[in-house]
Structure 1
């Protein structure tokens, strides 16, 4: 695939959510995986399995850097490997990647789970999927504990949710789609925190398909249903964890499913049998994040899907008040993620790249490129102090995009006497 074709594909993919605004939420039969709107196209060629480190030229790595961007050191993955990657996230200490690097991958699959730890020469294979024409469509991790979803590329209603404990050789199968035609096929949304994974899923139920909120914890990792609703009435989405605090979304639908109300709830892992507390009042809250400085979420404009661009809000634990969060230079953002100090998101203006500093309580810029240019920043993700993003630059010959990463200043860095 040429660079121009890759840019065209990226534009189309990233605008999917903006265009789909005729109803408030997608219908129950659609695959609403958040990753579907921002997936990196698969390369047509199969790369070699031997990877030689290729440091980035300083001129391309530093182009457009301003503000916080001048204080951090960005690196990039070897381009030969990057061009085989579909999903990538930070787990706080490493990059978790899905790849079709191996020679025996099926014609349409991206089946394998890899890890790259800054300082290593090359990524390491964590799990070789025995289903060579499956694709890992979502991955989430926390300092070596990893959840991921794989599914066939042949179109049947099927997905598997796996969990790989730290230092384990093989993952645990936690959940899978029952295959029923009337059960929504959307893949789980989930969060991993040391010793715990919480996820949402659809399943068959005695009175019809159900939406579930589930949890599994060390050492048994036995799945347990926390809450369950008939999926024709409501669905669970987007769990987030920090310590004992669990937040998640309930999307309640009108009878004809042309509108919905998205309710954000706070529960405690120490008391999951108790009624959760609702935090929002707008009915549009989605994609929440639990942070030390408050509970954040995104709200799309009225009438738009929960997967559309929106604005960020923060709930103050002490006062119970809700305020807007500054996302400048972006007006609208999507798919937020939070680390120890910073919050990242994808902005609707792909030429601008910034984060929110929870210590300074302000938005900070990392990169700025010409508005009429073709350098784009896509899919930033942060966990802990490690951030990763996709840098698109057509001047890099033969590349489908660089996967870049950097360590951000830690939470104590601005305190007096801090290093």
Structure 2
């Protein structure tokens, strides 16, 4: 005897939504066997009903609110993108007790608390594995597999567009603008790449990861953010000479302040990464996340971080979990926010730095520059001079220093007569000296 079908509404029929519908349709019998009941698509919400969308026309609707409110819909899959409209639809679904699966990192990074509260109040499930790193399973391991451990750090490459650009610049020696244009031609970069190249996308994902790992609500506004648009081919060449490469990293970690207070840091920026570090070899549009936990040690998750099929895989994994809960009467994990740790300001963060500056080619320059670092207790690890005459460049790598001290040092360097211009300031991650 066939069990009562579980009704699914799909909001959005773009790259991800199309793959979700295709896989769900082609493997209907397998999904029924895994869940215990058949899944039936009740409707698919699109912005415009036009042309051949590759699905039965009767399933299409341009009224997502009506679809979400239908009594025969048990689970809502949101893959629309954007914030305002999805927020209303997801809240409406949760308030009606319907389970929600979303891949919308921007929505979650801004309104995790509101959505989690609505889910808890109505005893509905809220799943979002696909919101971070596409097909890579990192959300569920943090929420469930490591629930009995203490996570101290989560760091990784979580944006495929920027990783493709930096990898290509490193390999070819091309400049940023040229490589960005090539990424656009190949479909790796959007027509407006701002969210990717300026770090907004990665910051949203960092907020989600920090919230889960440290049992504290963190929003995108709490995440310090820098993008890759100022990275030059010279920076990558110098990185090679230091046995490093440059990656856009999302870093979430526990820190202890000078006053002994436990805080968390969530930040996104391009950084030099030593070639022996596991993240240094992650190239192209691939993503990777490294988790450091007290008992488990270091774990690494690697794979395709974007794309229709990989992201759909994560969405469907969540869909199976939510459907099983509907069938057997269980519930997914609730939001854990008991720790309520404060987010430390960027100025308190200790890391190493790479500072590249164009300088006058004359005696005494090094001593003058070094004095500015010394005044603020920023210890220098190595100094390299490259070129001569008008092309003279000084590259300084520091030991661990507070971000505030380094910022003050850079500001003072800009005022020196012997410094023509501070060209680049990058952090160096993956070392402890």
- Work out which of the two has the higher radius of gyration on C-alpha atoms and give 1 or 2: 2
The structure that is helix-richer by fraction is 2
TM over 0.5: no
| TM, length-normalised to structure 2 | 0.25
The structure that is strand-richer by fraction is 1
| TM, length-normalised to structure 1 | 0.25
